[in-house]
Amino acid sequence: MEYRKIKDEDNDGGTLSNDIENLRGIGFSGVASVSNVPQREQAKWKRKTVVTVALTFLTSSQAILIVWSKRAGKYEYSVTTANFLVETLKCALSLAALARIWKSEGVTEDNRLSTTLDEVIVYPIPALLYLVKNLLQYYIFAYVDAPGYQILKNLNIISTGVLYRIILKKKLSDIQWAAFILLCAGCTTAQLNSRSDHVLQTSLPGWIMAIVMALLSGFAGVYTEAIIKKRPSRNINVQNFWLYIFGMAFNAIAILIQDFDAVMNKGFFHGYSIITTLMILNHALSGIAVSMVMKYADNIVKVYSTSVAMLLTAVVSVFLFGFNLTLAFFLGATVVSVSVYLHSAGKLQR
């Protein structure tokens, strides 16, 4: 479960966007030819769908790997080295993608790796936000138990929606806001179990920490979208490279602080197994998928995607691990499904 937090770290920081991408898209197709407009729109929609579906499947297989690794026994690998490898792998994959593009298209203003201080200065901010959030994570368990924390994490949904509205200044319709509240309620309902009611006894400091953590996580996500969308024509692989390079740096520092002795005595890869390797691979790919969703869709799509992944995971676990689905799960899944429908039915007319 602890491993899960790695996934969060593939988002890093930036400034405001305001649909620059949309404007450019329209501009380009206007210059080219009128008949290209629907084709371009279709291509954009297709790309958005592909990255969203990829994120959904990667996130749910991620959760299944976590269950699998728990069932297989405890692995004594160092979480910080695994996090570092995830960032490194993401960096390597971005560079590989760039190399292919350079070969076919040549180096241009948009896909060159070199950057300006003005562009790169905001990139470490989300990584820093996650660092603070992960630090808080150790303290919150003094106030909330693990199942309670799992429930409180759904506050992320609300904080992402609110910060998306405030920071990116994007509007959701009233129906879409209603859908977003339902998404949060539905996800929480689907996760209810006999011990969930403990969470109502959470003390004030516990609530405050949970809300602060939700805000940090939501802020990091929204900030990443702002960074990536600020330069819509910039190649996503270059943007990813810079996001992940700071991820590597922060995780290297974490290894030095937390696990230096263990790594020195037992080795960097101590306790790694085939499942650990699969998890690292999965986290790297879903990290890249998150970046793609930020580039071609938005944080709202990301939240829906990971919520649907949570439901998929539960259904798949029935077949893989013989889990039982509860009535609460069916009710929560119904509410989430209606929420997905309402989000699309409630689209603002532009």
| Residues within the interface to its own copies (CB under 8 A) | 151, 174-175, 178, 181-182, 185-186, 188-189, 192, 194, 196-197, 199-200, 325-328, 330-332, 334-335, 338, 341-342, 345-346
- Closer CB to its own copies, residue 290 or residue 310? 310
Nearest alpha-carbon partner for 245 in 4, 9, 3: 9
- Closer CB to its own copies, residue 114 or residue 201? 201
Q: At its nearest, how many Å lie between its own copies and the CB of residue 226?
A: 29
- Closer CB to its own copies, residue 67 or residue 185? 185
Q: At its nearest, how many Å lie between its own copies and the CB of residue 343?
A: 11
Q: At its nearest, how many Å lie between its own copies and the CB of residue 252?
A: 41
Q: At its nearest, how many Å lie between its own copies and the CB of residue 346?
A: 8
Give the burial class of 212: count Cβ atoms within 10 A of its Cβ; 0-12 exposed, 13-18 middle, 19 or more buried: middle
- Closer CB to its own copies, residue 33 or residue 324? 324
Interatomic CA distance for residues 300 and 308, integer angstroms: 12
- Closer CB to its own copies, residue 147 or residue 271? 147
Q: At its nearest, how many Å lie between its own copies and the CB of residue 202?
A: 11
- Closer CB to its own copies, residue 139 or residue 330? 330
Q: At its nearest, how many Å lie between its own copies and the CB of residue 192?
A: 6
